[in-house]
Structure 1
Amino acid sequence: MASTFRAVRGNRNSQLFFAGLLLSTIGTWVQFTAIAIVVDRLTGKATAIGILTALQFAPMLFFGAWGGAVSDRLDRRKMAIATQSMLAVQAATIAVLDFAGALSVGAIYVLTLALGLINALDNPARRGFVTELVPEHQIASAVSLNTAVMTGARIFGPALAAILIDQVGLATQWLFTANALSFAAIIGSLVLLDPSRLHPPPRVARGGTPVRDGLRYVRRTPILWATFIVFTVVSTFGFDYNVVLPRIANEVWNDEAWFGWTLTAISVGSLLGSLATASRDRVSLRWMAGMGAILGVAQLGLAWAPSGFVAIGVGPIMGLGAAGFVAAMNSITQQECPPDMRGRILALTAVAFLGSYPIGGPLTGLVADTVGLPWSLAYGAVISLVAVGGLVWWALGRHPDDSRFEVLRTLLGSSTAVAPSTSERP
């Protein structure tokens, strides 16, 4: 536990930031759950939630890399304060429209697109700022703890929304209002930080080709290139369960409240996966591949869960693999890139993860509406397992002097295998 939380131990800046981020992200997940329920009530179609997902993340796909370039040039703290303030205004607008009875599907789509545009700037700035909170040797821990906070908030956010809507009968506009107010936590924490104790990287000069420079760096670094390809494939097809869970909760488990509870169960595992990754001094390909395999297998189980009770039993295992996989990717990228390029590499990671939703989200919704709800989860799980298998096989190919199967036994932890040299170990 001491190694897991070393990035916040004795560091007031980290403590303030992560506390504010946790409270604000809980509000974000409350709103996300409420919006999904509202759209499902209005349309009754998984495709509609897929479109919602596409609108939220399409800006990241098209503009996220440039957002990372901007964050490498500007003061990330000030940039995050500005973007978080804009997100608060977006949430308040949804609340006002809902109070006025004017929150239609069209209005939700427009405001969701606005959310995506703001996030294209906020995501690389806020995530890049995390690396400024700690010295160089604690960056992997800080990045993984950031993932833990983001995923841990899902334990409380969806469950809180489910309780307030299903048990208390609270109208959705109050949940949107709560989210708007929750941004005060993250904005306040950013304002109260001590700038003299930050570790800012050198700012990138204006001009040049910052985005192409970042892409070239990834392409020329084998471990980054391989992990980015696999991460993009898994992100596109293995993380779209939010699109179909509202429909599954209604049609298979017979109660829309199971949507919130299942997200909460997944988030419990996500917190564990993120914290487990944060405890490691360096994150290896073996860890990333193992987490990806857990995600794929557990998602197959969730696809055919016959009841909500079974779903919340499988959910933590799936969350463990999902968050561990994402946290591993974030840590590996920060281990392998220079400080002045972290914003761009983090942005490219966000493009691969969040920017893939406009492709995977609608496709998953289409599979659900035309083929069947179980297959909308199962097809992504199978693709994810194949991609993770390809990552393992690529890692084995980095050791031409050893038998692939001997290296595979090393990756799986066998003491009798011939270990590759330290400089070549994935």
Structure 2
Amino acid sequence: MTLRALIARLSAVAALTLVTLVPGPAQAEEPIPPFYQAPATLPASNGDLIRSENLDILINPSKLFGVRSTATRVLYRSTDRTGAPMAVSGSVIVPEKAWAGPGRRPVIGYAVGTQGIGDSCAPSRLFSELLEYESIFMSGLLARGYAIAMTDYEGLGTAGPHTYMDRKSQGHAVLDIVRAAQRLPGSGLSTANPVAFYGYSQGGAGAASAAELAGSYAPELKVRGTVAGAVPADLRALPGAIDGSLYSEFTWYAIAGLSASYDLDITTYLNADGKEMFEQMQDNCVFDLFGSAFTQSSDYTADGASLGQLIEREPFRTMIDDQRIGRIRPSAPVLVTHSLLDDVVPHRVGKQMVRDWCDRGATVRLSTNATPLHVGGMLNNATEVYGFLEARFAGLPAASSCWRL
């Protein structure tokens, strides 16, 4: 797919996206639907299915372009940061047309970008209730015959808080949704199918983490490669980049998610306005960010410190450092895309992650572009994925940028 064609697709749904997803005042979070409620006893193994049901996609760009597929909503077992078992929801989408490429149909462990932190933001719910923006980018992968296994991540849809930007939790959820897809009756998938990971922004972190953890956590998966765009590999850089900007709320998502993962009461660090903001934010989805746009984090903390200053103190310093991506060598080639003009995740963060991987002997290529802004960089990531994955599934050697970094 060309960049022009992808832009045309985006513009075709842009008006609907804005009308549908930009919310009014925050609404009370509804009870968790029965499908997303975990049983008292979880299955024995990570990736085991708890339950599944047919998933009707309300707005399906793939069908608009002649790609018929079978979609299934799943609840499966995974593990959190500490290794404790948990139930995670997600979606498995398999093209109906028989795979025509070499070997078996590839499975893409699709790590979604920022959805929000409320349960109603779960992609497996948005598919059938609103427009899941990632479906625009998924359509090209489905058109090539790839199956997609997309996780909702920990606590997004299921009980408990969404541990936004927790490296291990996100990586585990991506790896286990692939396992769940391979165990889903009628999917035609098994451990014999080759695997790749794909994601951008939060999804880039999820895909990159899966690439790092696959060798130890899911060694049976036949991982062929990863495409990760605008990876927030070092969260220390984010407050300075987006505090006071349109994306101010994203830093609070991260603090909220990680505080939940580490069982830390963040409200003790907030003033009255901060506690009110934090409470209202719990049900927010990504497009609710407009309500907190251009606010300064220092206006919400108990002592007037900014989030950038707060995360330099303990226990936040260790908590944030634990999320650093780049310290474990991926076992398969990785393509990293990043815009020099990214206004959310600075380009230097992605470049340093690539350097860290290179120092550990990884095969990784950094593709730098100059497409404006963080949102614009999604277009490059979504168009470069096809050639990279086709080459990996064909068994061709991968190029590396390590020699020039």
Report the structure number with the largest CA radius of gyration.
1
Q: Which has the higher contact order (CA 8 A, sep 6+)?
A: 1
Taking structure 2 as the reference length, the TM-score comes to: 0.30
Relative to its length, the structure with more helix (as a share) is 1
